[in-house]
Chains A and B, each alone.
Chain A
């Protein structure tokens, strides 16, 4: 057994039992971050804060929400919105954060792609990040079911129908997922469970993995430079703070991070108080009705690009294209054959690939929102083909990339 001495302070008492000084050193003061980064490196902290906002607002919504097909709609739109004091605040924070979190995820992802932050030992950071994207998507979808409005019901109908696999007609699987022939009580109850317990647990675990994956390869920098973190941290600790290429995670880097978070939160709460309506589809303010289809069924904006890859093709081809789109980002570290971990601007053809992919996904998103009439149908079709072609081209153009 360890030797304990009479504590000289509360800090010392805790330190002897929990090693809080060591924890602080390992997690914060001697966790090293490169200096050569920009505000895009703060998106991780922005995401962590947004997840915190979702968690806290979710806890308050959970106290009044009723997962029952007869009462769910009113528990949200009447009880929480009209009766509960500040209920509107929690709902609008939850709704706005659910939408904005995807904007930040996409920025975070494309930052990683641009700077090659998925290469040279950082593959697991990328893969765990993409798993988080999948978990967040499932969390967003299951949450969207809960107000039990028309869009909840019909999105639930359409998305669960995807599991029939087109011509495979696996209706048994669809009914198993729903627990009924159509979305009904069993469906609402199990998606409530998924939304408030199982998926959040998975997300917390994946966040742990994502942070852990960062530990050994460390954070990338603007030039993709391979930094000797041991040597640079020794230089810093020896007093040469100006000459060292790294700074402490806390409080130095955190203070810069929180500056970006601060600006983000101003924008975030502006949306919560004045523009929450963008995250609240008006169609979902009609209660669910299985005998009346809304004229247009479309997902929230963050799913539009993959929805548009599904839509312009016949059922089976569309499903295959959709499946391709869902998994392909996961394989990025292995499809990029170039040894260069550099910003896209210094990587020849990859520069054009990056911007083509970004623009194509914006075009897909825009085309997914408009009704499928001409010329939008044709534009969407070619944008979907472009998406698939770009991924087929990626290994080829990166294989011939010159080593820099």
Chain B
């Protein structure tokens, strides 16, 4: 009786130590799969917003994804609706579209037509206006806006500034 309870204790003690070890190794394994610090550090892109020309779409790259940057012409600014204004970023006196260049339907890259001032996704026919708002289905929502922070005439992608947080809260982007 005495012996068997001692044996039982040994078993439980061994099990407990092994259990802690197993949980600790699972934690280490999980952390080893995390994105590396170098990968995370490369997750920021700084754009000089004074370099863009009116109504000329430029595709930048942020975290391996295409980023559309479009500087509005004065006519486009004059014709903006409140909704379009809410999707646009104001830097200095200029307004810009800064969107993730991936169709919100299935992730194809839409093309920009400077004459029509609209985007067309060739995969399934989705359309967006110059502010990236969806005008023709199947896309479920407008183009997503990447996290950004305004820093003078510069725009830092990957950091959440107050303007971005406001857009997120008001549901302009996900």
Contact = CB atoms under 8 A, between A and B. Distances in A.
A158 B35 CA distance: 19
A186 B59 contact: no
B123 interface: yes
A182 interface: yes
A295 interface: yes
A295 B123 contact: yes
Interface stretch (A94-102, A106-114, A139-147, A173-181): A173-181
Contact of B123 (A182, A183, A186, A293): A293
B63 to A, nearest CB: 4
B141 to A, nearest CB: 11
Interface in B61-84: 61, 63-66
A179 B39 CA distance: 8
A291 B108 contact: no
A184 interface: yes
B39 A180 contact: yes
B43 interface: yes
Contact of A157 (B34, B63, B107, B140): B107
Interface in A288-332: 290-293, 295-297, 315
Question: Interface size bucket, A side?
Answer: 20 to 34
Nearest to B102: A293
B33 A179 contact: yes
A186 B36 contact: yes
Interface in A194-252: none
Contacts of A58: none
Contact of B64 (A161, A169, A184, A372): A184
B36 A179 contact: yes
Interface string B103-128: 00011110000000000001110000
Nearest to B62: A181
A182 B36 CA distance: 13
A82 interface: no
Interface in B1-48: 30, 33-36, 39, 43
Nearest to B66: A291
Contacts of A186: 35-36, 39
Contacts of A292: 109
Q: Which of A161, A183, A184 has the most CB atoms of chain B within a 10 A radius of its CB?
A: A184
B65 A295 contact: no
A177 B43 CA distance: 17
A190 interface: yes
Given A176-B33, A186-B36, A290 B64 contact: yes
Nearest to B110: A293
A175 B30 CA distance: 12
A179 B108 CA distance: 22
Contacts of A181: 35, 39, 43, 63-65
For the complex, would chain B's binding face be called helix, strand, loop or mixed by DSSP majority?
loop
Contacts of A295: 108, 122-123
B64 A182 contact: yes
Nearest to B103: A293
B60 to A, nearest CB: 10
A158 B107 contact: yes
B166 to A, nearest CB: 19
A157 B64 CA distance: 11
A168 to B, nearest CB: 12
A297 to B, nearest CB: 8
A184 B109 CA distance: 19
Contacts of B65: 181-182, 290
Contacts of B123: 293, 295-296
A176 B66 CA distance: 21
Nearest to B64: A182
Contacts of A175: 35
Given A180-B64, A181-B43, A181-B63, A293 B108 contact: yes
A372 to B, nearest CB: 7
B174 interface: yes
Contacts of A190: 33
Contacts of B124: 372
Contacts of A161: 107
Contacts of B33: 176-177, 179, 190
Nearest to A185: B39
Please provide the 10 A-B residue pairs with the shortest distance between their CB atoms, ordered closest to farther: A182-B64, A181-B63, A293-B108, A290-B64, A291-B66, A180-B39, A179-B35, A293-B109, A180-B35, A181-B64
Given A290-B64, A291-B66, A293-B109, 13 more contacts: A175-B35, A176-B34, A177-B33, A178-B35, A179-B36, A181-B64, A182-B65, A184-B64, A291-B59, A291-B109, A293-B108, A295-B122, A296-B123
7 contacts: A179-B34, A179-B39, A180-B35, A180-B64, A181-B63, A184-B39, A292-B109
